[in-house]
Structure 1
Amino acid sequence: MASQIILAALALLASSVAAHGGLANYTVGDTWYRGPDDPLEDQQGKPWMIQRIWASIDPIFSVNDTGLACNTPGTAPPSYIPVAAGDNITAVYWYWLHPYGPMSVWLADCGESCEDVDVNQLDFFKIWEAGLVEGNIVEGIWYQKQFQNWDGSPDLWPVTIPSTIKPGLYIIRHEILSIHIEDKPQFYPECAHLNITGTGTAVPSPEYFARFPGTYKEDGMSDS
């Protein structure tokens, strides 16, 4: 059933998403949640929108770019994806071209509303990451390569919401960092709004917080 829903979603989005790639939609269980449509101006304010709007799949090159948090323009959507702590949420990409570099997923507590926050001032914490699977940095296999499908099927990125997390309104941030060009890292961040339910009470300690921009440094070092 879930596969049928994903295929139906992709059929709706293929004409626009295939043109530029990127995070097309999300699924939780058998329910899919739409991401951006073209043209850009027709997306804003749509009641079904749960993803922060991105205008292009072009990478972000500067670690000081404000779009590093939730892409550009990063306009807030009006809706939220309901998901229970401990459940999976899957990010669906129509295709992904690059094979080298790490991938990570972050959450940030919005407080009373994710629509009104400044994403550059949010404290993100990492809930998932994957990098080099085997071999060395240059010739090895990265998870990013395993993420790719070349048979026309979507690239699926499932992540489990921590089972003990405090319920509330959160931003989920998916980041792909491509390093296939020497000394020119390419950042691809995407964000959506979540309404996490559950009975947990866990919150991360400040030592795990990261802000974008601010966490990555031009010398390649990270504070997180």
Structure 2
Amino acid sequence: MARICFLFACAVFFRLTTAHGGVSNYTVGSTWYRGYSPEETPEAQVGQPWLINRPWAAIEPIYDPMSLAITCNSPGTPATSSIPIRAGQNISAIYYYWLHNVGPVVAWMASCNGPCSSPSFNASNADWFKIGQKGLLSGTIVEGMWFQHEFQDWSGAPNVWTETIPKDLKPGEYLIRHEIIALHIANQPQWYPECAHLKVSGKGKKVPGKKFLAKLPGAYSLSQPEIGIDIYSDEWYNRTTYNIPGPPVWNGE
């Protein structure tokens, strides 16, 4: 009996330590929007009128920043519907578990220049801009508190990551992309991106300038000093600052 219990415990431990995570759903105000689940069949989800985020096949990381999967994960095909949201409102991405604790998180948006579900819109060629990012909050690189660690909730409640749509953003259809970059394995960064469709309303007339824009893929490379790193090395272990790579955050000004 003891041996059976031990094997069961090992199986649970293996599942937890090899599992990762992703956005399970979204909330805007008091409204909840169901997300895509890689644990259910695509046939039960793709094409459904409620589907607001782009399908992602597995909770596994992306290792190559130049892979097309870096844009909206894989397969990352268009969703059926969109989340209605006003410029200036908050949107929360809900994760039901997240196990890693070192590395930045970045929220991006991109205009679809029309319907995000259009076959002519290619998210990998879009102009992406950051609306928020969070990194090392306190302490050192290895032992300090990162946001992706702080937002973990082991009580059984969901992990919540909230960002604000810039209040003066021009109305239209946009993708929003939540991305976690995990740096806990030396010289092997991991990306976890998921995208959802938004329909932004409001009276704003602004769009980000060129210095705020980037391509995905294109924003990251393994040669960047903040990406291809060994956090356990003497160079990094006791650092108290981390510069999140990519363009600056656009707050609508």
Q: Distance in 2 between matches of 1:192 and 1:92?
A: 12
Structure 1 residue 139: Cα displacement: 2.0
Counterpart in the other structure of 1:113: 115
Cα distance in 1 between the residues matched to 2:117 and 2:175: 10
2:30 corresponds to: 30
Aligned equivalent of 1:7: none
CA distance in 1, matches of 2:147, 2:141: 12
- Does the CA contact (< 8 Å) of 1:20 and 1:56 recur in 2? no
Aligned match for 1:206, one of 207, 210, 214: 210
Q: Match for 1:102 among 101, 104, 108? A: 104
- Contact 2:108 2:129 (C-alpha < 8 Å) held by counterparts: yes
Equivalent-residue separation in structure 2 for 1:193 and 1:179 (angstroms): 28
Is contact 1:215–1:223 with CA below 8 Å preserved after alignment? yes
Report the CA distance shift for 1:26/1:223 in structure 2 as closer, same or farther (over 3 A). closer
Moved more, 140-149 or 39-48: 39-48
Pick the aligned partner of 1:215 from 215, 219, 222: 219
Stretch of structure 1 that moved more, 193-202 or 38-47: 38-47
Moved more, 39-48 or 55-64: 39-48
Q: 1:72 aligns with which of 71, 74, 97?
A: 74
After TM superposition, give the deviation of residue 223 of structure 1 in Å.
Answer: 5.1
What SS does the aligned partner of 1:111 have?
coil
The alpha carbon displacement at 1:195 in A equals 0.3
TM-score for both structures, normalised by structure 1: 0.89
- 1:123 equivalent in alignment to 2:130: no
Asked whether the equivalents of residues 108 and 123 of structure 1 are also in contact (C-alpha less than 8 Å), the reply is yes
Partner of 1:45: 47
Q: Identity of counterpart residues, as a percentage?
A: 49
Aligned positions, number: 206
Dislocated runs of 4+, deviation >6 Å: none
Q: For the Cα contact (< 8 Å) 2:20–2:98, is it kept in 1?
A: no
Q: Deviations over 1:181-211 (max 9, x none)?
A: 0100000000000000000111100111111
Q: Is the 8 A contact 1:47 1:79 kept in 2?
A: yes
Tell me how far 1:20 sits from its aligned partner.
Answer: 6.5
Q: Which has the higher strand share?
A: 1
DSSP-derived class of the 1:194 partner: strand
Structure 1 stretch displaced more, 112-121 or 97-106: 112-121
1:166 maps to 170
CA distance in 1, matches of 2:212, 2:20: 33
Q: Which runs of 5+ in 2 are unaligned?
A: 1-18, 226-244, 248-253
Contact 2:91 2:163 in 1 (8 A): yes
Structure with higher Rg: it is 2
Instruction: Tell me what 1:86 maps to.
Output: 88
Which whole-Å CA distance do the structure 2 matches of 1:121 and 1:218 have between them?
A: 20
